[in-house]
């Protein structure tokens, strides 16, 4: 229920920007679907879904401050804004802490330290590859280099007709 409020808040936050609204909703749904098949415990699943909703929250601030929204700037700006929104909605401290960490690392593909982190990255790639019109070849490279979960691999293989 709290995540529905969060989805509404994020929709307001990105008002006038349908691409970003559709982006985070897709990343959220794919994260949810992958997490459910990978047998996450309830807390990790909740953290994953929450992080997926707010993962790109730093984009706006990065654009406003630097006129650029590359991955590193998003990671820098995102955590504080996410923490504020989550505390306003009454999320528990341990959830906020991990979600904030994930927001601050979702463009970093080294030292992935948990299934929540791994799945968030996979879901974001599934959506970004498509939204950026990437080739089958790029999808294959990402599959080999980044994807680790069975459910994520299966989604990517089927989307691009790989193997």
What residues make contact with Fe ion under the rule CB under 5 A? 56, 124
Residue 15 or 163 with smaller CB distance to Fe ion: 15
Q: How far is the CB of 57 from Fe ion (least distance, A)?
A: 10
The alpha carbon of residue 39 and the mean position of all alpha carbons in its chain are separated, in whole angstroms, by: 18
Residue 68 or 92 with smaller CB distance to Fe ion: 68
Residue 153: which residues within 8 A CB-CB, separation 6 or more?
A: 143, 147
Copy the structure tokens of residue 90: 């009454």
Residue 94 or 108 with smaller CB distance to Fe ion: 108
Q: How far is the CB of 24 from Fe ion (least distance, A)?
A: 7
Closest to 72 (Cα-Cα) out of 41, 111, 103, 37: 103
Do residues 32 and 57 touch, judged by C-beta distance below 8 A? no
Q: How far is the CB of 163 from Fe ion (least distance, A)?
A: 26
């Amino acid at each position: 229920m709290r995540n529905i409020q969060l989805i509404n808040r994020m929709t307001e936050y990105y008002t006038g920007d349908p691409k970003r609204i559709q982006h985070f909703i897709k990343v959220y749904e794919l994260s949810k679907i992958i997490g459910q098949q990978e047998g996450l415990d309830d807390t990790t699943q909740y953290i994953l879904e929450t992080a997926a909703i707010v993962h790109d929250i730093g984009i706006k601030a990065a654009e406003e401050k630097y006129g650029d929204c590359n991955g590193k700037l998003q990671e820098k700006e995102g955590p504080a804004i996410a923490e504020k929104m989550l505390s306003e909605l009454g999320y528990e401290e341990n959830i906020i802490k991990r979600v904030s960490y994930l927001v601050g690392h979702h463009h970093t593909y080294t030292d992935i330290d948990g299934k929540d982190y791994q799945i968030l990255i996979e879901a974001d790639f599934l959506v970004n590859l498509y939204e950026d019109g990437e080739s089958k070849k790029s999808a294959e490279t990402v599959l080999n280099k980044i994807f680790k979960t069975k459910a994520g691999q299966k989604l990517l293989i089927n989307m691009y007709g790989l193997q």
